[in-house]
Structure formats: structure tokens, C-alpha cells
């Protein structure tokens, strides 16, 4: 299996399956881990960084979940391939930069990925489609246990797992959930809901993680604190709050349908009409329109469209995906034309 095979496979995070998948796009946990006796990646020298790479690579085979996984050195990947992996939510945007000693492990199903020598020596990530945060925790816990039999992780009885950034010390755990909240946006309740969520100690981020804006009515919500609580507590708390947001979105959708059906239908169909007809379209506009269409699919507006088609367009219209599909580097203007071509072809 190679990286290019992912092109013809749905990202786990956008698959559109699993519990509450009409509102919850995907669930993810990640664990930050560092090898005992070695400086954090930013302070380690070349030899130490190579040691970290070798150690992690050597431990891979002991993890049943990583059977058949690929190991990429970042320096061996093209710029497009790196962005491609970010677009598939398999690694962070930061991991694309100065990659001499950075690596990525990915399992063929794109459920598990491990960034090596990002901020921490290991950033283990598990993705599941839909509202499945408990399952991601179950899997990542198993992987962590298996790896810790081969690797000695930096751990303090007082502080817990030690990490490069103090906000991750303790469990090193971050659970995050990608939500599609078009009705809360449409009814202008989103600010209030997100404000309340922030007060409960959760972080809200956009489409591509930290530092990015929300687009396409997609919001990524995660725990802020990873210390002073057990992993189960963190996951339970996150799950409980998300459950409330999901209910709010759900009832907003019902209100929209009963009180504002024509305006809603109009907006959804116009989004479809524009996607089906445009000859030039940016990534941002595409995501916004696909959000409306996804809502339309969820509400049964369309007969011939399903969530998978929408998902496929979400993924394949991203810049690096487009360029890999075209087999060449494209300027932003060329991408906007190519994107429109692709969408029209798929919606024909």
C-alpha cells in the first residue's frame, strides 16, 4: 500500500457513519508521549532525533493495531503529499514544516496515526467516524499499553506523563469531536452555545485544528485540561457536553423545519444549484455549500444524493487532493477551475 491509495478511500474523519453521524462528523483522541532520557524534539540534536525515530519504528510491530502500517519520513514526501496528509487529518499542519527528522506512521484504514518528533516524540492519534469518542479512547489505550512495553515513556509520579508543552502534562490526552452545526449557525444560536462550551473548559477550533477558523459550519471541540483528572473522566465529561450540543443542534433543525422550511429548502437547493453549475470555485465556498447540502441530505431534501457523495466531495476538493487527482502542481486559480470541474462531474 502507498500514500496514493488513500486517494480512493474515504477518510475516517469524514466517512459520515457511526452514532449521531448526522451531526457528529468524527471523534478523535490523541496521546502525547516522550521517551525517557531524551530531550523534547525541539531541543534534541540530530543523533537524538534519529534515536527517537529508530526506537519508535522498532516498537511499531508490537502493536496489533499498526499491522501493515506505513512509516513515512517527512523529508521523503513531496509538499503536496504532506498537505494531503493534513487534509486527511492524519497529521498537524506543523508537522509539514522543517521535516528532516519528522516521521508519520499511518495504518491503512487511517484510524491510527503517530506523528514522530512533532512537539512531542510521539503524538498518537485514533480517529473514528461519528460520535465514538469512547471507542477511540479504548483503542488508543490499547496502543499506548502495547507501546509502553517496548518504549520507556517519560513519567513523573507527581505530574503524570511529561510533555513539551505544560498544557499536555498529566494524561497527555486530548479528546476532540468534529461537529456539523448548520442549524445553530442558521438560527444565530451558535455564539451562545460555543460561549457556554468554552466556560465548561472546552476548546473550540476550526476545520483544520488549532489556529484555523471554522468553515462549513464545522466545529472541533476538545478538552482543555489534561491534568488532575483520570482519562475516563476527561472522556466522560467531553462526551456529556457534546451530547448536549448535539441535542441543541437537533432541536434547532426541527424548529427550522417546522417554522422556516421554505427558506431552509431554498438555501439548501441554491447551494446545490451553485455547486452543480459553477466553473470557478474556491475551497472555502465549496465547504460552505457542501455544509448546506449535507444538511439537506440529513433532512431528506434530496432524493439522489447521499452523505457519502457529499463526503467524497468534501475530501477530494481540498487543494492537495485536487493536485494529486490531477497528477500535477496547480496554481490557486487553476485549482478553482479544476475543483469546479470535478464537482460538476460528480453531481452530474
Is 326 a residue that touches a second copy (CB under 8 A)?
Answer: no
Cell output for 15? 466517512
Q: Cβ 289 to a second copy, closest distance in Å? A: 11
d(CA 183, CA 292) in angstroms, rounded, equals 10
Which of residues 201 and 273 has its CB atom nearest to a second copy in the complex? 273
Which residues inside 280-309 make contact with a second copy, applying CB under 8 A?
280
Instruction: Show the binding pattern over residues 327-346: x = contacts a second copy (CB under 8 A), - = does not.
Output: ----------x--x------
Any residues with CB less than 8 A from the CB of 285 and at least 6 apart, and which? none
Part in contact with a second copy (CB under 8 A); list of ranges 80-88, 118-126, 132-140, 273-281 = 273-281
Using the contact rule CB under 8 A, the part of the chain among 54-62, 63-71, 148-156, 278-286 near a second copy is 278-286
Q: Is residue 5 close enough to count as binding a second copy by CB under 8 A?
A: no
- Contacts of the segment 14-17: beta carbons below 8 A, 24+ positions apart: 14/129, 14/311, 14/314, 14/315, 15/129, 15/130, 15/311, 16/129, 16/130, 16/307, 16/308, 16/310, 16/311, 17/129, 17/130
CA distance from start to end of the chain: 31
Q: How many residues in the shown chain lie near a second copy by CB under 8 A?
A: 17
| Residue 135 near residue 146 (C-beta atoms within 8 A) | no
Q: Which residue's CB is nearer to a second copy, number 280 or number 329?
A: 280
**Which residue bears the cell 457528529?**
24
Tell the smallest beta-carbon distance from residue 263 to a second copy (Å): 7
- 208 touches a second copy (CB under 8 A): no
List 215, 255, 274, 326, residue binding a second copy (CB under 8 A)? 274
Nearer to a second copy, 102 or 335 (CB): 335
User: Please, which residues bridge with residue 127 across strands?
Assistant: 28
**Is residue 259 within the footprint of a second copy (CB under 8 A)?**
no
Among 98, 145, 273, 306, binds a second copy (CB under 8 A): 273
Q: Out of 122, 139, 278, 322, which residue is the one contacting a second copy (CB under 8 A)? A: 278
Out of 76, 213, 262, 345, point to the residue binding a second copy (CB under 8 A): 262
Where would I find the beta strands (DSSP E) of the chain? Answer: 24-33, 70-73, 103-106, 112-116, 122-129, 155-156, 160-161, 173-180, 202-205, 218-223
Does position 67 interact with a second copy (CB under 8 A)? The reply is no
CA-wise closest residue to 316 among 325, 308, 307: 325
Q: Is 148 in the site for a second copy (CB under 8 A)?
A: no
- The strand ranges marked E within 297-346 are none
Q: Which residues bind a second copy (CB under 8 A)?
A: 262-263, 265-266, 269-270, 272-280, 337, 340
Amino acid at each position: 500500500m502507498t500514500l496514493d491509495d488513500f486517494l480512493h478511500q474515504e477518510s475516517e474523519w469524514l466517512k459520515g457513519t457511526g452514532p449521531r453521524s448526522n451531526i457528529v462528523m468524527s471523534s478523535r483522541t490523541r496521546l502525547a508521549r516522550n521517551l525517557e532520557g531524551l530531550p523534547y524534539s525541539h531541543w534534541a540534536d540530530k543523533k537524538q532525533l534519529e534515536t527517537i525515530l529508530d526506537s519508535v519504528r522498532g516498537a511499531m510491530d508490537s502493536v496489533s493495531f499498526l499491522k501493515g502500517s506505513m512509516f513515512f519520513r517527512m523529508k521523503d514526501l513531496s509538499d503536496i503529499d504532506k498537505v494531503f496528509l493534513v487534509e486527511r487529518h492524519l497529521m498537524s499542519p506543523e508537522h509539514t514544516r522543517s521535516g528532516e527528522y519528522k516521521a508519520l506512521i499511518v495504518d491503512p484504514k487511517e484510524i491510527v496515526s503517530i506523528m514522530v518528533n512533532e512537539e512531542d516524540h510521539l503524538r498518537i492519534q485514533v480517529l473514528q467516524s461519528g460520535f465514538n469518542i469512547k471507542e477511540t479512547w479504548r483503542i488508543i489505550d490499547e496502543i499506548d499499553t502495547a507501546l509502553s512495553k517496548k518504549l520507556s515513556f517519560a513519567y513523573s509520579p507527581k505530574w503524570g506523563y511529561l510533555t513539551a508543552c505544560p498544557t499536555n502534562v498529566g494524561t497527555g490526552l486530548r479528546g476532540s469531536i468534529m461537529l456539523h452545526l448548520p442549524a445553530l449557525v442558521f438560527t444565530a444560536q451558535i455564539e451562545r452555545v460555543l460561549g457556554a462550551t468554552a466556560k465548561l473548559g472546552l476548546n473550540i477550533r476550526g476545520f483544520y485544528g488549532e489556529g484555523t477558523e471554522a468553515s462549513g459550519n464545522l466545529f472541533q471541540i476538545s478538552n482543555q485540561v489534561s491534568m488532575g483528572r483520570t482519562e475516563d473522566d476527561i472522556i466522560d465529561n467531553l462526551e456529556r457536553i457534546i451530547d448536549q450540543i448535539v441535542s441543541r443542534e437537533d432541536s434547532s433543525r426541527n424548529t427550522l423545519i417546522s417554522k422556516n422550511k421554505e427558506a431552509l429548502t431554498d438555501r439548501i437547493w441554491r447551494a446545490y444549484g451553485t455547486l452543480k453549475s459553477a466553473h470557478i470555485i474556491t475551497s472555502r465556498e465549496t465547504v460552505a455549500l457542501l455544509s448546506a447540502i449535507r444538511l439537506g441530505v440529513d433532512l431528506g431534501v434530496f432524493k439522489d444524493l447521499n452523505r457519502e457523495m457529499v463526503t467524497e466531495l468534501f475530501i477530494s476538493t481540498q487543494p492537495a487532493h485536487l493536485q494529486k487527482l490531477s497528477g500535477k502542481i496547480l496554481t490557486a486559480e487553476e485549482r478553482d477551475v479544476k475543483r469546479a470541474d470535478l464537482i460538476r462531474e460528480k453531481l452530474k
